[in-house]
Structure 1
Amino acid sequence: MALSGTGKINNARELRIYENSDELRTEFAEYIAEISEAAVKDRGIFAIALSGGSLISLMRKLCEMPYNKTVDWAKWYIFWVDERVVAKSHQDSNYKLAKDGFLTKVPVIPSHVHSINDSVSAEQAAEEYEFLIRQLVRTRVVSVSDFSDCPKFDLILLGMGPEGHVASLFPDHPVLEETEVWVTFITDSPKPPPERITFTLPVINSASNVAVVVTGSNKAETVKIVTNDDVEPDRSLLPATMVRPSNGKLVWFLDKAAASKLDGVKFSE
């Protein structure tokens, strides 16, 4: 049962709230499939950037009927919004998580899956990943923003930590100030492993579509803070608050527990 309050729209941001994880998973798969179809129809390609965590388990619905047959998987080009600088076979690798849980179950073309170089330093991995994206922007695999020189991904998928981090952008970290590069690196992540690469905020906010998926009551207070429309984004705020696409659509997918402290949302009995 969907909850009253689902579909609330504020300044190009939409809150979708679901009774349970099964409903959220179903609607999330439909959302991705619709954006994929629209992008392929518009420009013949779908460029999507993934994060790790529970997002991948939610995407597994796309491995089932009808999506495994109806989605044009050959047109998908897959990137990572952030990645831990570990071996691709390491349990902390977002690539491994996506490969084991999703990519091996759908007919994505292997050469369209763009993971980081896991054999170099975090700094070099970030530089190489940005170079790769710049090459694909030149060949129009990835679009470019109308308002900046940033890449314009068709869809960026994010989770959110209890303290409000998205991608590998953590509260009060200097990389929140980064505006010159597309991909940066950190070596002091407050969550292990410490070395990571991450898209910068200008890249995330240049996407055509951004989805933030949050589940669990331990994140409810943070959800209330970061979805407050009366707060203007600035560098003193939580990273999730700074996710505001400049000319794109932002959708928050929330389960009942994560949305439990939102004002004005009435839950169905």
Structure 2
Amino acid sequence: MVDIVRYPDAPGLASAVAEALVTRLAEVQAEGRVPSVALTGGTIADEIYRAVAALDSSAVDWTRVDFWWGDERYVAADSSDRNDKGVGRDLLDVVGVDALRVHAMPAADEAHPDLDAAAAAYEQAVREHGGGEFDLVLLGLGPDGHVASLFPDHPQLDVDDAIALGVTDSPKPPPERITLTFAALNRTRAVWFLVSGAGKADAVARALADEGSVHETPARGITAEPRTWWLDEDAASAL
């Protein structure tokens, strides 16, 4: 099942997703489980995280949520380029999470001086501490159709026997990344695409077209259901 939900503008989109996210986490906890969420970076995601932090989210026990990342820039831990820096500042540090449940991807440091070894370490963390699948995967979308750090025509698109991989030639700086694979991202109870802006409209249309190539538009490799596309009108304008 694929749902397409449209909002007039980015603030309206962010507000709606924030409320839906709090509701979903509360529902999973009401089932007696600890929610497991794979987070994403990006402008609209950051706006959503700030909107969540501004809500009355007392229905969620934030100390009982596991946070993962779909991808990360392989840079120093204190670099502003890292996705986890913004999420920490805008959401996690505000709502009071359990630091042991925040599973950040390795940074480029003395403990993880090698990109491939860092990716392997994250794969091991998912295997040891993950629950076998995510409850929710949040994904942005690039103008080129990439998701996480799975870029058009890159070899990582064809890997189906790993959870996390290193990327050395990202077309967006910085060039070195760690990304979850399609195999990992599709092991989830739900996927939410979070997309705003006219610059993403063509990629949205290609991702949702009846036919197309994963190598041209990597977002087509996300096949888990249900999938919800949360769009503002600009991002939906080519549909």
User: Normalising to structure 2: TM-score of the pair?
Assistant: 0.93
- Say whether 1:113 aligns with 2:106: no
* Residue of structure 1 equivalent to 2:71: 82
* Residue of structure 2 equivalent to 1:9: none
Q: Which amino acid aligns with 2:67?
A: I
Is the Cα contact below 8 Å between 1:35 and 1:154 reproduced in 2?
no
The count of residues paired between Structure 1 and Structure 2 equals 234
* Residue of structure 2 equivalent to 1:36: 25
Is the Cα contact below 8 Å between 1:28 and 1:59 reproduced in 2?
no
Q: 2:221 aligns with which of 235, 242, 252?
A: 242
* Residue of structure 2 equivalent to 1:204: 185
* Residue of structure 2 equivalent to 1:122: 115
- Give, in whole Å, the separation in 2 of the partners of 1:181 and 1:136: 16
CA deviation digits over 1:151-194, x for unaligned, max 9? Answer: x1011111001010100000000000001111111111111111
Q: How does 1:47-62 map to 2 (within 5 A)?
A: 47-54=36-43, 55-62=45-52
Deviation >3 Å, runs of 4+ = 234-237
* Residue of structure 1 equivalent to 2:235: 258
Is the Cα contact below 8 Å between 1:185 and 1:198 reproduced in 2?
yes
CA deviation digits over 1:60-116, x for unaligned, max 9? Answer: 11112322x222211111111100111121011111121122211111111111112
- Give, in whole Å, the separation in 2 of the partners of 1:42 and 1:155: 15
Q: Which amino acid aligns with 1:107?
A: G
Q: Which has the larger radius of gyration?
A: 1
Q: Which amino acid aligns with 1:258?
A: A
- Give, in whole Å, the separation in 1 of the partners of 2:173 and 2:186: 26
- Give, in whole Å, the separation in 1 of the partners of 2:32 and 2:158: 32
Q: Offset of 1:236 from its aligned partner?
A: 3.5
The runs of 5 or more residues in structure 1 that have no matched partner are 1-11, 145-151, 263-269
User: Normalising to structure 1: TM-score of the pair?
Assistant: 0.83
Is the Cα contact below 8 Å between 1:177 and 1:235 reproduced in 2?
no
Q: Offset of 1:34 from its aligned partner?
A: 2.1
The runs of 5 or more residues in structure 2 that have no matched partner are none
CA deviation digits over 1:119-153, x for unaligned, max 9? Answer: 2221111100111111114xxxx2x2xxxxxxx10
CA RMSD of aligned residues (A): 1.4
